[in-house]
A and B are shown apart, each in its own frame.
Chain A
């Protein structure tokens, strides 16, 4: 049975289904239950934006509210994972990674390699990413490139409710540490989602739209900007192929290369800061492996190299727009390489 639900509900459903299936799945995080120890209602919040709401009633003590100590509880999730549990730790905003990153990139990511293949750390760290929420510089970043950089971590960033459910179920079942990035501006976005359980394998991009003239690669919220741009371009008889990466590590190089070899043009849209991000990574890979197929310079659409601003008028400028994506596509269609530089 399929029905239209939001990405927030889909994530809640994935957590519920996996907790029912596997008793070693536990959840922890700040206010994921809410009101613990306080005189008012139990299960008061279900997470700061209500993603885990209702799970305490179903699973009780397997949801653990934590003190406000990201290093301690993210580390505890990792330690429990190394000892046979499958914890899903919520790091409310991924921006808070700064205070617990050691546990993730020096501990969880390295155990298996550093211990000669003798450790498994099946932990999921999920949290909010992305701009557009008027949440300013410390609650709005798309830090996906930082995680993608680290061998030993897997990085997931769904663009819709269907993918979020299947990818989160896969993340929980996966035997490696997974950073699960939820774009806060997609929580309310609804798609058709089956009620039953299903897993989407990692490293398989989703081709959302077929096209022969240009390949647009993106992930997360900007997938929707890419689709809007593709619709606008279609009115001018430009057919864009839109690829939603879904997972950034592992990444589906084959789908990207196959598409570029057919279209000869590549635009990468990334909400992360422009230096050393997914856009630069993918551009470099394509330049190295499919240079002969390129008919035009690769275009990258990213925010500027600034922190995320607060004022709505500035934040709207910061986030890559559908217009910016369409303009980038048009630069790849311009007659000479020189004109792409001038644009």
Chain B
């Protein structure tokens, strides 16, 4: 862990583990509470994909912007959005990140550079070009990261934005979170090229593919392209091959997946287990330190759920509020 241009000290590694565990616990808890009927609307879980958000976001600060997807909880947590506000938002409470008016698919916190989860696939790509353009005009070194799944990688907005970012030389990183499924449709079937690198190359962008379940692989690749973008080197594409532990949305019976597929992924490609294993086997961290984090994370999520359930819903007057700044 020292033979890298982006060294991580023990505190960084424990923080990475904490972030990934927080996302996992958040999502596992939502899975349970959604099944109980506690949560209104649509929920898309990020469980299994934590290494990607965490490995990338550790290179960013509040000045850097991200545009997320419908599967956005992991991006929010890794970007520093308050977990209590997120949970309250998902419960539709007035204390939520969006005061209960956005829900799971629209959590945003612009003060943290989180420009919103997005219910429209691929819509974040043009927006992040604008965020990067603003950073370029300000000259503050800020970068923009847009996430798409393998599904939204087929959207025109994504492809157009790669071209625009290249033409305007914008500090944008296009992250393809390839979990193999666009809802229920296989990536192998729906994506016409063999590799996302080919698509990046077609737009004149460098592209990198990494094992998205390997925190270190994501962290190092992201470090390189974020640095490049910050220094004016322009846009790049990062493909993270990753796994989805749950369905497209909660309630998805996932009959399109192979028998035993998810069990196998959980046993062999769980990014958190892999990180914990590497940290403990190398003697970097004692198992008890990780267990202590686990307990703290469990308590945090428990408290977030308790607070969300106790929080008041928006009041009737909120229905008409905040359509415009002034009208």
Contacts and interface: CB of A to CB of B under 8 A. Distances in A.
Contact of A82 (B99, B130, B157): B130
A118 interface: yes
* B interface secondary structure, majority: mixed
Contacts of B161: 72, 75-76
B164 A76 contact: yes
Interface residues of A, number: 44
Contacts of B322: 112-113, 116-117
Given A69-B164, A118-B110, A80 B123 contact: no
A255 to B, nearest CB: 16
Chain B CB within 10 Å — which of A69, A79, A85, A120 has the most? A79
Interface in B117-142: 118-120, 123, 125-131, 133-135, 137-138
Contacts of A115: 98, 101-102, 106, 108, 110, 116
B133 A85 contact: yes
A120 B322 CA distance: 10
A191 interface: no
B256 interface: no
A39 interface: no
B125 A75 contact: yes
A78 interface: yes
Given A66-B164, A102-B120, A116 B325 contact: no
A226 B116 CA distance: 46
B189 interface: no
A78 B124 CA distance: 11
A71 interface: yes
A152 B163 CA distance: 29
A340 interface: no
B123 A107 contact: yes
Contacts of A79: 65, 67, 115, 126-131, 133-134, 144
B325 A112 contact: yes
B126 A76 contact: yes
Nearest to B163: A67
A102 B123 contact: yes
A72 B157 CA distance: 6
Contact of A76 (B102, B130, B324, B325): B130
Contact of A152 (B116, B119, B324): B324
A111 interface: yes
Interface in A46-83: 64, 66-67, 69, 71-83
A154 interface: yes
Nearest to A109: B323
Nearest to B321: A117
B101 A114 contact: yes
Nearest to B99: A116
Contacts of B144: 79
A106 interface: yes
B232 to A, nearest CB: 15
B168 A103 contact: no
* A interface secondary structure, majority: mixed
Interface string B132-161: 011101100000100000000000110011
Contacts of A175: 325-326
A80 B130 contact: yes
Contacts of B125: 72, 75
B98 A116 contact: yes
A176 interface: yes
A186 interface: no
A194 interface: no
Nearest to B96: A116
A69 B133 contact: no
B167 A84 contact: no
Contact of B127 (A24, A82, A113): A82
B102 A114 contact: yes
A87 B254 CA distance: 44
B97 interface: yes
Interface string B60-88: 00000101000000000000000000000
Nearest to B107: A115
Nearest to A153: B324
B100 interface: yes
Nearest to A73: B164
A122 B133 CA distance: 15
B145 to A, nearest CB: 12
A105 B63 CA distance: 27
Interface of B: 65, 67, 96-102, 106, 108-111, 115-116, 118-120, 123, 125-131, 133-135, 137-138, 144, 156-157, 160-161, 163-164, 167-168, 321-327
11 contacts: A67-B164, A69-B164, A71-B157, A83-B115, A102-B120, A103-B127, A106-B120, A114-B102, A115-B102, A117-B322, A174-B325
Interface of A: 24, 26, 64, 66-67, 69, 71-85, 87, 102-103, 106-107, 111-120, 151-152, 154, 174-176, 203, 250
Q: Which 10 A-B pairs have the closest CB atoms?
A: A75-B126, A79-B130, A116-B99, A117-B322, A79-B127, A80-B130, A116-B98, A72-B160, A76-B130, A83-B134
Given A75-B129, A112-B323, A116-B96, 5 more contacts: A26-B137, A69-B160, A69-B164, A79-B128, A79-B130
